[in-house]
Structure 1
Amino acid sequence: MSTPDLFATRASRMKASEIRELLKLLDQPGIISFAGGIPDPALFPADAFANAFQSCLGDGPHALQYSVSEGYLPLREWLVGHMQQIGIECSAENILITSGSQQALDYLGKLYLSPGDTALVGWPTYLGAINAFDAYEPCFDRLDLKANRRAAEYAAASGDGKIKFAYLSPDFANPTGETVDRATRESLLDLAEDLNIAVIEDGAYQALRYDGEDIPPILALELARKGTIEACRTVYCGSFSKTLSPGLRVGWVVASREVISQLVLVKQAADLHSPTINQMSINEVARACFDTHILRVRATYRRRRDAMLDTLRQEMPEGVQWTKPEGGMFVWLTLPQAHDGADLLSRSLETVQLAFVPGRAFFPDGSGRNTIRLSFSNSDEATIREGIKRLGQVLRH
């Protein structure tokens, strides 16, 4: 008997993350890596977490015990205030704690998608979202926010399948670093109403703005229209991974109570609840220093983004284009059509010991061969400048 013969059909759609594989290069000496979209560990509030864990463990057995599936109530109450600061009025009953926002995407795929349904996503879009949704055997269609594509065209393209949601990261998106303007966010809400679909708003990078004006989240814009979160179709996914700590795996979902109650059932079947002590420690650190800590993170990443953009202007040969993000962790390069990002990565590793992510991984149809993603968050300015010089060297030759 062949074991794969026993696997469900969805198993054939599961693929290794190219980014996870590239992260293994970080331990090799001499490699400059712009591959992983990971925060700088030197910025983690380690002392605050050491104190928080000591405090949590000293507070009796609660930190080591089972907890409710919805999540640690004091943390959800802190998040109520946090969401209010960005224009989203909600209660603790509108919030579910997840093991990172990646788990939230998996749960939402499980909740919304039946085989053959359609998910509207960016072209390119976050690789983790593609992988999370793909396990539930959907079709992917391009969410083209710039082409003013009408609802009837999306419906016609879906064929016999049903469109279930539009997924996007509107602020400093992974992988492009681009931000969706307010008018386009409003038009997306119009489209969602016309198609009667959900909107999944990935806010993983929302707190990492370095310049420009804040734009209300899509959920905040819908709340202004409908007056109550209970009438909203938008589901907001947040994360502490890019601000406080990725290793603790604490994220959250904000949505109507109807959606949250269904997600709670999904979580109960999956892992019962996210780790209690992790939630408790995040709560203590967030209450103690989130606002001041995020200022330090923004200042550091702003300098690194500026170093990358400045050096790209100096070193890139003619025909290379790149985005100019107002925040986040990424710059997206579009190379001349003759270039292949995967081939370029291979040559870069062999000749100049430089790593990045080929852009093809971020396209559901495998297109975008002439694109690459660079991350500036985990390298200092001098390393960034040297890495971009190496990239220019490979491209010129």
Structure 2
Amino acid sequence: MSYPNLFSRLSTRLEPSGIRKLEQLAKDTPDLISLGPGQPDGTLFPSAEIFSALSVMFDSPDTTARALQYGQSRGNPELLALLVQRMRDQGVTCDTSNILVTAGAQQAIDLITQLLVDDGDSVLVQPNTYPGALQVFRARGANVESLADQAAPMQGRGTKFIYAMTDFQNPTGEVLSEKERALLLATARQRDTFLVEDSPYREIKFSDHDLPPSLLEMDCGNASPDTGRTLFIGSFSKIIAPGLRVGWIVGPANVISLLTLLRQGSDLQPGTLSQEIVANLLEHGIDAHVARVRQRYQARRDAMLDALQAHLFPYATWNAPEGGFFVWVKLSVPIDARELLDKAIENGVAYVPGSEFLHDTRSSSNLRLSFSIADPQCMDEAIRRLADTIDAVLKNTTSD
């Protein structure tokens, strides 16, 4: 049955996620080695600690009732206090009025977009950026533009915010330098607009080198986020578990209040049980767990880099990320990464083509390889299959 003219404009703008399609394909194709989905490794989830936290919660009727009852729209007070301390440890001076707990970073992106964007307003993004954010911006009617296309500074009427990933970015794995961060902040100030900093990978780093300060810290210094224009998005999905759906936004208190009203009309509050679990884990300390996570992902990154060096040179060049989940590959041969994907899948390997990370419909010679869940023992075979696919396509092109 059809329902003409009953669906909203929002519904007509919704686009399926290409990466989600790859996740399903990997499940449906047993022999496929997928280097596509950027999921955390499920074997690293702190299941014993979570079980212990649940045991404490269900130890008495009072704690059980609290863990299963409605909670405050802004978030569990204990968790908010722990997040305040966590942000202060990162150089950000804030209090609980500056923080909203969200159902992961994705909800944070959506709430911010709902608050700031009307149809036709501009959102500026990095040249390659997180497709889940692009999905939200387009659905909410934003005009998405690349920072790389801004030839000269503008006054920015209609530009509602700049969205940037600063640490081990998805998809490129790059870390913005302090100078690049300062330029982003200067652009936001020049345009008199918000700066949205999405940082889910900041703690997945493979060296002891300090990262540059966050945009939020640079924006406000030792002062409150109330003095700035940066909205910081954090998440526990990568360092604890994505199924808990716990993230947070830090920003000016008046903006957080408006975002809280929006969330009341959406899901009322963040999940009480998940917040209780995360608060318990933070209270007992997660540094040792995070260290194990970093070690495992670094080993997988190293296995991928070794395989790339063994098989993909001279077909491509790539970076060596110092954290995160991804290696960003640029083909050195005249092949479109999206067109190559179907052949690669036939040959038993999958990846995400670079066009998924563009704000427009251009083709791309880049591809994103995720090492987060791939078995290191399969990594060499996966890259060999990719190299064989490229070689076969080149030979077929030459023979034509």
Aligned residues: 387
Q: Of 133, 141, 147, which residue of structure 2 is paired with 1:143?
A: 147
Map 1:42-61 to 2 at 5 A: 42-58=43-59, 59-61=63-65
Q: Which residue of 1 aligns with 2:369?
A: 374
Task: Out of 114-123 and 20-29, give the one that drifted further.
Answer: 20-29
Q: CA deviation at 1:148?
A: 8.5
- 1:269 matched to 2:259: no
Distance in 2 between the 1:316 and 1:168 partners? Answer: 30
Q: Which structure 2 residues correspond to residues 212-251 of structure 1 after superposition, within 5 A?
A: 212-224=209-221, 227-251=223-247
Preserved contact between residue 116 and residue 137 of structure 1 (Cα < 8 Å): yes
Q: Percentage identity across aligned positions?
A: 36
2:304 aligned partner, one-letter code: M
CA positional deviation for 1:149: 4.6
Change (3 A) 1:125 1:368: farther
Amino acid at match of 2:38: G
CA drift at 1:5: 2.4
1:41 matched residue in structure 2? 42
Residue of structure 2 in register with 1:185 after alignment: 181
Residue number in structure 2 paired with 1:285: 281
Matched with 2:386 is 391
Please state how far the C-alpha of 1:83 moved relative to its aligned partner: 1.0
Residue equivalent to 1:12? 12
Closer/same/farther in 2, CA of residues 4 and 324 from structure 1, 3 Å limit:
farther
Counterparts of 2:184 and 2:364 in 1: how far apart (Å)? 28
Provide the rounded CA distance (Å) in 1 between the counterparts of 2:150 and 2:14.
32
Contact 2:67-2:272 at 8 Å conserved across structures? yes
Shift of 1:371: 1.8
Query: Any idea what the Cα deviations from partners look like across 1:21-52, whole Å, max 9, x if unmatched?
Result: 11113323221111110000110000110111
Shift of 1:312: 1.1
Contact 1:319 1:336 in 2 (8 A): yes
Change in 2 beyond 3 A, CA 1:366/1:74: same
Taking the aligned partners of 2:313 and 2:201, their CA distance within structure 1 comes to 30
Q: Which residue of 2 aligns with 1:323?
A: 319
- Counterpart in 2 of 1:158? none
SS class of match (2:183):
helix
Structure 2: how far apart are the matches of 1:324 and 1:4? 51
Name 1:70's counterpart in structure 2: 74
Aligned residues of 1:317 and 1:396 also touching (Cα < 8 A): no
Q: Secondary structure at the match of 1:88?
A: coil
- State the TM-score, normalized to the length of structure 1: 0.94
3-state DSSP of counterpart to 2:242: coil
CA distance in 2, matches of 1:394, 1:200: 39
Question: What is aligned with 1:297?
Answer: 293
Provide Cα deviations, 1:207-245, integer angstroms capped at 9, x if missing partner.
Answer: 111124311111011122x73221110000000000000
Indicate the RMSD between aligned Cα atoms, in angstroms. Answer: 1.7
Structure 2 equivalent of residue 108 of structure 1 = 112
2:398 is aligned to none
Q: Which amino acid aligns with 1:35?
A: G
Structure 2 unaligned spans of 5+: 393-400
Moved over 4 A (4+): none
Q: Contact 1:323 / 1:331 at 8 angstroms: preserved in 2?
A: yes
State the distance in 2 between where 1:338 and 1:11 align: 37
Amino acid at match of 2:377: A
Normalised by the size of structure 2, how large is the TM-score? 0.93
Kept in 2, the 8 Å contact 1:203–1:236? The answer is: yes
> What's 1:133 paired with?
137
Displacement after TM superposition at 1:319 (Å)? 4.5
Q: Which amino acid aligns with 1:220?
A: E
Structure 1 residues 72-114: Cα deviation after superposition (integer angstroms, max 9, x where no partner) = 1111111111111211111111110100110000001100101
Distance in 1 between the 2:120 and 2:150 partners?
Answer: 25
Letter aligned with residue 358 of structure 2: F
Matching residue of 1:25: 25
